[in-house]
Every structure is written in structure tokens, then in C-alpha cells.
Amino acid sequence: MNPFAHRAIAIAGMAELPRRRRSGRTAFELAGEVVAQLFASTGLGPADIDGLALNVAMSEGAHPFWSNVMADALGLQPTWLQLTDLGGATTSGNVARAAMAIACGQAETVLCLAADASTTQNMAQQTGLKSEFSDPLGYAGPLSSFGLISSVYESRYGSIQQGLAKLAVAQRNGAMANDNTVPELRKPITEADYHASRIVASPLHVLDCVMPCDGASALLITTADRARAIGCAAPVFPLGYAEITNFQAQENLPDITLTGHSVAGPRALAQAGLSPAEISMFQPYDDFLIAVALQLEQIGFCGVGEANRFLCDNDLGPRGLLPINTGGGQISSGQSGLAGGSVNLIEAVRQLRGEAGARQVPDARNAVVTGIGAIQYVRNWGTSNALVLAR
Amino acid sequence: METPPNIAGPAPSALTRPFWDAAAQGTLLLQYDPAADRYQFYPRPISIHTGRTDMEWRPACGRGTLASFTRVQQGPNAWMLAGIDLEEGVRVLAPLVNIAPDAARIGLPVRLVWITEGRAQPLYAFAPAPEAAPKVGS
């Protein structure tokens, strides 16, 4: 069975906690709270869950048995268990993995859990390449890489800062309407604020970047039949998924601006049988605004080098041609550590359930959600994935 | 001169010890895969071109061009970080020194230099080619 064909697999429940900086809580506590919410809203309990997928949590460092310990903490007895270390591509990747596991009969009702509390405690450590050949040379984390990418993009296509300023404001407007936004970001910004914000890695401003926080979310994935049986009124169906890791692996001198989304985006859309023009909204992974621009171009929403014009010419809000990160994305509502990919994913599901309130996209039929995982040596991101969802 | 913070790397592994031993002598070594006639950087346990392990260490000529750059600002500290395309056909992440921040442009010819002052381990870095000197900050 193809898990993405015939609306056979459904997202049948969702829950998300408000994001907080330095919550003082553990990933276990956040997980317990969000799973309790999911159970309360779906009428299910621990005995109904036979699959669990979760993320590596920076707050727990290199816990060697994280998924087992979490299953025990939640009272689950999964017949299928998945711990994913795809960084920001983890959560959409887990929805696809759960769908495949269900299609293969390994589980019927999967909990896709995302939880991290990395601003309360960060025990993550990256050995090898990063500590030996990056950090001592002046690598200051992902913002360094996105500064390098931006310098090439802007030298080739000209400044994109006007378009990114507009995107920053549009996302902030969405974040203001999102009850789960971190409180520090629930204040309006203007394009002038973006341009005036401090440079962190030229040409990147601080308002190009995410604010880390703690948070958790949970999705329930099951068969369409079981979704109906448990009374799910608004199932959301994965129609296409594609993923690629270490794009251009054997290329010594790759184009640093060309990402795996140039492969994964079109492939996921083709599997869903949809063209970019048929997509109701775009919920791209946004650790940096330039990443949204590259994905717009490489997935096919606009031409290569045209993101600035696309962003400047279009209403990016919920009533626009292509609403983008309607809940604020991570940049304006907070990046919950390695659970951060769920911010954009949950927003897409919420929109397709018709539960987005003041920021609801009218007649939302489908959405493209993406993930970005890890950063490679003097290249761009490691894992690129794209998930097409529809109601 | 703007240079990155002094962050010590880990003790070299068996794989990377020849690289750092040569760096201490002012030589930047690249892995060369004779079966593919191609180089690679950073040091890896296997050739990404052929999957073989019988690679050689060869000294880089030290000439390259600027492939990408950013000026990182952290509190009072700022430094230029760059991707450098070496003539051997590999890209290296390294500090870019002896350059005004607004003078950087893609394609600028650069030369290998070493940052040694106050460092337990010499750092390979790059500077605009005409101004390149064999030692910087020593």
C-alpha cells in the first residue's frame, strides 16, 4: 500500500503547547503535557497507541535510550518505534515514516511527538568535523553558514533585503495572532525595524534569525478508516513526501545556494499530483529568512533569482496568493529546539482543520510543509524534505 | 587584525594527526585520491569519490579564490569567515584576514596564511593574494 495515495493515512489529532523561553521544564514534562492534551482532544489513551516517533532532544544530549525512556514515561507499548535525528526535518520526516510504518502494518495508531527544552538545558555536543574543522576557524553556528549563502545569493541576484523585510513583517503579523508564540515575540515590527536590526553575520540581521525556546507538539497518525472510527471530524492527509540528505555529496565545489529542496520539493508535489500554482499555503522551515527565499525558488513557487520580486509583489498574509508561515513560523513565534520543525507543520495541520482563527486561510485545501536538517561543511543544509498535506 | 575567537579544537585523531602535524610546520595538507585523481577537504575516513581508503596527503599550493564570505559579529568581536576554492578543486572554510570588510567580493584571488599568535594550534587562513605573507600575527 502506498501510504500517500488515496487518502489512506490521516493526521487525526493534534496538540501544541505555548512556546516559552527558559521554561524551567524538562522535555519529559512538556511531552507529558502535550500528549495529555492530544488524548483529551481525541478521546484516546496510552493503550490505543502502538507506534511512537520522536525527535532527538538537545536538552537531553546524547541519551542513548531516549525513545525507550520516553515510551515508558508515557505508558506506551509501541510495536514500532522511531527516533529521528534529522534536525528541523525531523517532524515532517516522522509523519512520513509513521505513514509508511502504518502502510506496512507495523503499527496502526502512531504518536508523532516533538519535544525539546534546549533553552532550559542544552546538553547537545557535536563532535568531529564541527569541533575540529569549523569552530576553531571562526564558525559561529548556522548563522555563519547562512551569511555565506546570502553573500553568494546577493552577489549573483542583487539584494533581497527588501523582500525579506516584507516577509519578516508578514510572519510577525501571523505570530501576533498565534496564542502559542513566545511572549518575547508578540510585538509588532516594521520593515524599518528589520533593516535597522543589528548585523549578526553579514548580510544577516538579527531579525533574519530564529529565537530558540522550549516547546512540544503531538500529532496522531492512523488509517483513514480508524480516523473516522474515533470521530475525527477534520482529517488531514499526507499526499506526497520526499526527502534528500547531503545533496551533492560528491561535489567538492557545489553551488552553495542550490539545495536539496530543488529535488525534494518538485518530487513531493509530483507524488501529490499538484503543481505549485495549486497550493493553498506554504509553511516552509524558517531558521533564517533567506532559507524561505531559496525554497520558494527551488520548489517552484517562483523562478530562480526572483524571490525578492515575488515577496515584494505579493500579499504574504492569509488572504494572499500564497500565504507563507501564517502562524509566524519559527522566526517570529519561536524555534523549540529540535522540535522546531513542528511549528510550521502544526500550523499547516491547524489551517487545514480550519482552526486558525483570525489568521485562517480562506478555502485552505492543501499545504506544502518543509524541513531543513543540519548544516554541511561550507555548503547548505543537510536534509531537505517536503510534505504535501491536504484536507 | 580581525581574527576569530581562540577556540581550541579537540586532540587530533589518528586520521587527522598528520594534518595538524603539518599545520604546525606551516603546511596545509589535502587528501588526494589517486584512483579518482581528485582531492577532498576536510579529512575524511574514506574517499568520497571512489570509496577507497588508499589516499595520499598532498600539500596545497595555497592559491585560491573567495567563494563566499560573511563578517560575523559577536558582542565586541568581529571577524571575516570565508569559503575558499583552492586551485586543487576543494572548498575550505577559513578566516579571511588583512581585508577591509567591504573589499570582499566573490572571485577575489587569495593566498594561504597562518594565524599563530596566542594559538596552541596554528590556524590556516586566507588573505587577498597581493598582500599575502607567509606568516601573520607572529
Residue A117 sits in which domain range?
9-123+213-229
User: What residues are paired with B39 via a beta bridge?
Assistant: B32
* Domain at A19, CATH number: 3.40.47.10
Looking at the structure, do residues A181 and A81 belong to the same domain, yes or no?
A: no
pLDDT number for residue A203: 97
- Residues A261-284 have pLDDT tens digits of 999 999 999 999 999 999 999 999
Whether residue A1 lies inside any domain: the answer is: no
Q: Find residue A219's DSSP bridge partners.
A: A14, A112
Report residue A334 as a C-alpha cell.
Answer: 519561536
Of A233, A218, A232, give the one whose Cα is nearest residue A46.
A218
Query: Averaged over A362-384, what is the pLDDT?
Result: 97
Q: Tell which residue, B136, B137, B84, B88, has the closest CA to residue B109.
A: B84
C-alpha grid cell, residue A305: 533569482
Residues A147 and A91 reside in one and the same domain: no
B-chain CB neighbours of A204 within 8 Å are 70
Q: Is the residue at A4 inside a domain?
A: no
Give a yes or no: residue A3 inside a domain. Answer: no
Instruction: Say yes or no: B9 contacts chain A, CB-CB below 8 A.
Output: yes
**A35 in the same domain as A153:** no
Chain A residues with CB inside 8 Å of B82's CB?
A: 148
pLDDT at B133: 45
Position with higher pLDDT, B72 vs A1: B72
Among candidate residues A229, A264, A283, the one where a domain is terminated: A229
Q: Give pLDDT, residue B132.
A: 44
- B8 to A147: CB separation less than 8 angstroms, yes or no: no
Q: Which of B81, B89, B101 sits opposite A138 (nearest CB)?
A: B81
Neighbouring CB atoms inside 10 A of A222's CB total 31
A27-43 residue pLDDT tens: 999 999 999 999 999 99
* A256: nearest CA partner in chain B: B68
Q: Is the pLDDT of residue B134 over 70?
A: no
Q: How confident is the model at residue B138 (pLDDT cuts 50, 70, 90)?
A: very low
Domains held by chain A: number: 2
DSSP state of A179: T
Closest CA to B107 of A250, A253, A260: A253
Asked whether residue A137 falls in the same domain as residue A100, the answer is no
Q: Are residues A179 and A300 in the same domain?
A: yes
Is residue B136 predicted with pLDDT exceeding 70?
no
pLDDT of residue A202: 97
Answer yes or no: do B89 and A252 touch at CB < 8 A. yes
ipTM for this prediction: 0.94
* Residues near A27 by beta carbon (within 8 Å), at least 6 away in sequence: A57, A59, A60, A115, A116, A117, A216
Confidence tier at A151 by pLDDT (50, 70, 90): very high
Q: Which residue segments constitute the domains of chain B, with CATH numbers given?
A: 17-131 (2.40.50.840)
Compute the distance between CA of residue A75 and CA of residue A368 in angstroms, rounded to an integer.
33
Q: Convert the pLDDT of each residue in B12-31 to its tens digit.
A: 999 999 999 999 999 999 99
CA dihedral A93, A97, A103, A109 (to 10 degrees): -100
Q: Is the CB of A129 inside 8 Å of chain B's CB atoms?
A: yes
For A130, which residue in chain B has the nearest alpha carbon?
B9
pLDDT tens profile B24-50: 999 999 999 999 999 999 999 999 999
Q: Do the chains contact at A147 and B82, CB–CB below 8 Å?
A: no
Residue among B8, B93, B105 whose CB faces A139 most closely: B93
**Over residues A307-336, mean pLDDT:** 98
DSSP A91-132: HHHHHHHHHHHHHTTS-SEEEEEEEE-TTT-------THIII
pLDDT tens for A238-266 read 999 999 999 999 999 999 999 999 999 99
Chain B environment of A134 (Cβ under 8 Å): 93
Where residue B1 falls among pLDDT bands split at 50, 70, 90?
confident
DSSP state of A208: G
Shortest Cα distance from A167 to chain B (angstroms)? 22
- Give the pLDDT band (50/70/90) at residue B70: very high
Average pLDDT, chain B: 93
What pLDDT, on the 0 to 100 scale, is given for residue A126? 87
For CA atoms A235, A236, A238, A239, give the dihedral sign. Answer: positive
Do residue A177 and residue A220 come from a single domain? Answer: no
Cα(A216)–Cα(A308) distance, integer angstroms:
33
pLDDT over 80 at B131, yes or no: no
Residue A118 sits in the same domain as residue A204: no
Per-residue pLDDT at A186: 96
Q: Are residues A95 and A155 in the same domain?
A: no
Residue A358 falls within a domain, yes or no?
Answer: yes
Stretch B109-128: mean pLDDT:
94
More confident residue, A99 or B118: A99
